[in-house]
Amino acid sequence: MKVLVCISKTPDTTSKIAFKNNNTQFEEAGVQWIINPYDEWYALVRAIELKEKDASITIHLVTVGGADADPIIRKALALGGDEAIRVNTTGDDSFYIASQIADVAKQGGYDLILTGKETIDYNSSAIGGAIAGLLDLPFVSLATKFDLNGTVATITRELEGGEETEEVSLPVVVSCAKGVAEQRIPNMRGIMAARTKPLKVVEPAAVDALTHIVSYELPPAKAGVKLVAADNVAELVRLLHEEAKAI
């Protein structure tokens, strides 16, 4: 069975977010890059767990990015991917990125495609659904549990105020959220092995981006905190009621 895990490179969670060139570009100077936590902690680790139970599973990784994404994909290989494909292009339009992955998926014939629920940079929650739409496959979003029984997947997904358990036959695209698996740290053996695992670079398919980021902005700064004395809780309630009109 072939599992495709989509891997994205994102700034580390502690990164200072700043922009350059008249707020049209993300300031990458000084930024540490990581595997998007949802892709790593949940999608990839779950694929590794499935493989640990069923050795016939192979884990294929795909990323859309420039050569600067190679360290990220090597880390994902070190965690437990078997081989990787990098589509040599960049972009911020979800349709464009999803089209590249769908193209890879069409050629690879995967039984299961896993993504994180969103990336922590663009927060679009759009790649998994768009890949499924392009491939005309069923899609389950925001999975919190994922199990395989032969060729049937049992998936629990988040709803507002609850959850739902579903069954679907492979192939399927699933976006993974917290609960699907637990974070792992790559070990030395994995890191050594990753150096020689295949990483294939392919050129992008000719697809037009449908959207384009014109500029960025930072949220307005807070005016400063109003402190209320610990023995005067009534004053906080008064401020929230009369000033903030929030209660």
Ligand X SMILES: Cc1cc2nc3c(=O)[nH]c(=O)nc-3n(C[C@H](O)[C@H](O)[C@H](O)COP(=O)(O)OP(=O)(O)OC[C@H]3O[C@@H](n4cnc5c(N)ncnc54)[C@H](O)[C@@H]3O)c2cc1C
- Residues found near ligand X in the complex (CB under 6 A): 13, 37
Which of the stretches 51-59, 64-72, 78-86, 219-227 binds another protein when contact is defined by CB under 8 A?
A: 219-227
- Report the residue number, 202 or 228, with the smaller CB distance to another protein: 228
CB atoms within 10 A of CB 192: 10
Spatial contact of 173 and 158, defined as CB atoms under 8 Å apart: no
- Report the residue number, 15 or 99, with the smaller CB distance to ligand X: 15
CB atoms within 10 A of CB 184: 15
Print the binding letters for residues 68-87 with another protein: x by CB under 8 A, - otherwise: --------------------
Widest distance between CA atoms in the chain: 67
197: CB partners within 8 A, 6+ apart: 77, 81, 82, 83, 84
Say which entry of ligand X, another protein, none residue 39 contacts (CB below 5 to 8 A, set by partner kind).
none
Q: Please tell me whether residue 31 binds another protein under the rule CB under 8 A.
A: no
CB atoms within 10 A of CB 245: 7
Say which entry of another protein, ligand X, none residue 185 contacts (CB below 5 to 8 A, set by partner kind).
none
Say which entry of another protein, ligand X, none residue 126 contacts (CB below 5 to 8 A, set by partner kind).
another protein
Spatial contact of 174 and 153, defined as CB atoms under 8 Å apart: yes
**Structure-token pair, residue 217:** 């902005």
Say which entry of another protein, ligand X, none residue 140 contacts (CB below 5 to 8 A, set by partner kind).
another protein
We find the least distance from the C-beta atom of residue 37 to ligand X, in angstroms, to be: 6
Which of the stretches 46-54, 59-67, 112-120, 184-192 binds another protein when contact is defined by CB under 8 A?
A: 112-120
Site for another protein in 157-176 (CB under 8 A): 157-169, 175
- Report the residue number, 37 or 186, with the smaller CB distance to another protein: 37
Closest-CA residue to 83 (of 103, 99, 63): 63
Spatial contact of 205 and 99, defined as CB atoms under 8 Å apart: yes
We find the least distance from the C-beta atom of residue 234 to another protein, in angstroms, to be: 5
Integer distance in angstroms from the first to the last C-alpha of the chain? 55
Strand 19-20 to 25-26 pairing = antiparallel
Can you tell me which of 82, 89, 179, 204 binds another protein, judged by CB under 8 A? 179
Q: Please tell me whether residue 33 binds another protein under the rule CB under 8 A.
A: no
